[in-house]
A and B are shown apart, each in its own frame.
Chain A
Amino acid sequence: MSQVIKLEAIGKRYLMGDQAVDVLNGLDLIVNTNEFVALTGPSGSGKSTLMNILGCLDKPTAGQYLLSGEDVSQFDENRLAQVRNQHIGFIFQSFNLMPRMTALDNVAQPLIFSGIPLKERKRRALEALKHVELDDRADHIPAQLSGGQRQRVAIARALVTKPDILLADEPTGNLDSKTTDAIMNLFEALHQEGQTIVIVTHESEIAGRCKRVIDLRDGVIASDSFNEVSA
């Protein structure tokens, strides 16, 4: 099993006026290929910050971050954009779809930034939509889709670049329990196919359906355990 994520002594310090606040404190973490991880913790524990660093949206102020063997903590803005585009698939709580674009165009959007021609983009986007069983809704704009369908479009968009890792930030936070169940089933299916997944959540039911649960407290890992129940 190869390491997708390797964090070594990661620290993140914010300056609030002349006071320094350490949100992350020398955090070490390894996530291997095909792991299905839940990142939990109370608000203020640093899980959002960790999520942003894992997603290359933010840079750590200390430590080293190896993503698929590459030290991305030293990358400049443009290379980070490239990493986000090619190695990471984001899924957000509020879906973050472009409201005026069709489902197909939304899914195809990241491929624009990888410089893939239009025809190929459409083909791959349709394939990704098929993967989440929404290919019959390809021409619909987000407003014409239900919450669960929107999140599936967002998941298709995250999958379309075939990323090393799926990063989901409270993916079911805006969904009812029935839809939540369907989305979690989809994540489980993706996990079965070999996808590496990290889900940030504060709901224990969600965490309970992941294979590994990492609990964050005050910027450090308080517990790191494997669920045996849902094997």
Chain B
Amino acid sequence: MIVDILRSASQSIRANLMRSALTCLGIIVGVASTIAVVSVIEGLKANIGEQFESMGSNALTVQAYTPIKQAMTGRFARIDHTDLQLIEDRVEGIIDVTPILYLPGSRNGGTKYKGNISTATVLGTSASYIRLDNWFPEIGRFILPQDDQTRRRIAVIGSKVREDLELPEDPRGEYIQIMGEWFKVAGVMEERGELFGFSQDDLIMMPYSAARSLNGRGRLLNIEIRFKAENIEELNQVKQRVERLLRKKRGIGENDVDDFKVQTADQLLDNFSSFTTSVTLVLGGIVAISLLVGGIGIMNIMLVSVTERTREIGINKALGATRQFIMMQFLIEAVILCLMGGMIGILAGYGLGAGVAAMLPGFPPASVPLWTIGLALGFSATVGIVFGIAPAAKAAGLNPIDALRYE
């Protein structure tokens, strides 16, 4: 019996192919947009997860944090050299305390070599940087402690910088001009590829002390401080120690908001996850609305179809079709329409996601988790049932005498 209902439903879908396709469109668009977005976000997530893993789970980062209220008054919080010294001197149980000073304006093309310009980010840091990031030089060497002590003007560059500046394959000993000053290239880092479409190799690193002098020694520049807990079990204690120390130094009371943040790699990952989660939720809402609209479209067409096929329903009833049979016939037709829309939507969405990911350079490949396929199909079927039930009930409730007389 079910087979016959399926057959008759698919027959009537085929008989009105154009209309069926248009009916599905709402569902197709809804499902395709979900799948496209989810596939891109899932691809990103997998990629980001790998990135953060390389940072090591016992790493901590101290950054300045300006609450929005304060930012509107124009006062920005900063972490500076004095904080670095304080942490180095006073906090126990930490190693590899590393300052990172981003040189403002470096991305505007402040780096030159024989007429070529690089827009690389320039940062000053210390020898321990490579251990925090698990990122090592491929050619030459990284910054050494004595470079920092003697404020040596050397630079370690990312592979993209070598390309952009058209430096030789082994650029050691070449001099490049950074913000008006000459620096000797000491090494080239391993290639890391791209993240979010941004090259991670477009980076120039110099000794922290050299970077400070480049910027004028008197000014206290905002820096980022990274370090590791000696014991991973002590991660939280270390974090609290640093927080307490900084709060005391700044005179922040117990009820005041910190103007800095101490975060673990996991927390940074959490930040990203909560971002993707809210993006997913917002998009989920939009998709739900589009599926609702699609569902109403299905209901509309099914109601038209019931009216159009009133006579057919009357004939079937006269020939002995029960109310349930007619009901199932129309309900299954609606569900098939929705499922077809769902399946086409999944394919289209995956294609769209893969296309978007491929078009943005360096974007990770799109990936569709199995649960979204299940969810999309389940949702489509539910839409079919919810919006198919009213037309189906209308069809099933037709009086055979009236239906037979219907022209």
Residues of chain B lying within 8 A (CB to CB) of residue A77: 322-323
CB distance from A165 to the nearest CB of B (A): 14
Q: Flag if B401 contacts A57 (CB, 8 Å).
A: yes
Size of the chain B interface, CB-CB below 8 angstroms: 22
Interface residues of B in 315-331 (CB under 8 A from A): 315-325
- Contact bitstring A87-131, B, C-beta under 8 A = 1, else 0: 000101000101010000000011011110010000000000000
Residue on B with the closest CB to A99? Answer: B312
Contact of B404 with A by CB under 8 A: yes
CA distance A81 to B320 in the complex (A): 4
CA distance A122 to B377 in the complex (A): 35
CB distance from B19 to the nearest CB of A (A): 14
CB distance from A6 to the nearest CB of B (A): 22
- Contact bitstring A35-70, B, C-beta under 8 A = 1, else 0: 000000000000000001001011000000000000
Residue on B with the closest CB to A121? Answer: B4
Partner of A84, one of B1, B3, B318: B318
Interface contacts (Cβ under 8 Å), in number, total 58
17 A–B contacts, CB within 8 A, in A order = A55-B318, A57-B318, A81-B317, A81-B322, A82-B322, A84-B317, A85-B320, A92-B404, A96-B318, A109-B316, A112-B1, A113-B316, A113-B319, A113-B321, A113-B325, A118-B3, A157-B319
Q: Flag if A82 contacts B401 (CB, 8 Å).
A: no
Q: Flag if A113 contacts B311 (CB, 8 Å).
A: no
CB distance from B313 to the nearest CB of A (A): 11
Residue on B with the closest CB to A112? Answer: B4
Residues of chain A lying within 8 A (CB to CB) of residue B312: 98
CA distance A85 to B317 in the complex (A): 9
CA distance A92 to B176 in the complex (A): 97
Contact of A78 with B by CB under 8 A: yes
Interface bin, chain A: 20 to 34
Contact of A25 with B by CB under 8 A: no
Residues of chain A lying within 8 A (CB to CB) of residue B404: 57, 92, 96
Interface residues of A (CB under 8 A from B): 52, 55, 57-58, 77-78, 81-82, 84-86, 90, 92, 96, 98, 100, 109-110, 112-115, 118, 157, 161
Interface residues of B (CB under 8 A from A): 1, 3-4, 11, 15, 311-312, 314-325, 400-401, 404
Q: Flag if B315 contacts A100 (CB, 8 Å).
A: no
Which A-B residue pairs are the 9 nearest by beta carbons? Answer: A85-B320, A113-B320, A110-B319, A81-B322, A84-B320, A112-B4, A96-B315, A57-B400, A78-B322
Residues of chain A lying within 8 A (CB to CB) of residue B401: 52, 57-58
CA distance A112 to B5 in the complex (A): 9
CB distance from A60 to the nearest CB of B (A): 14
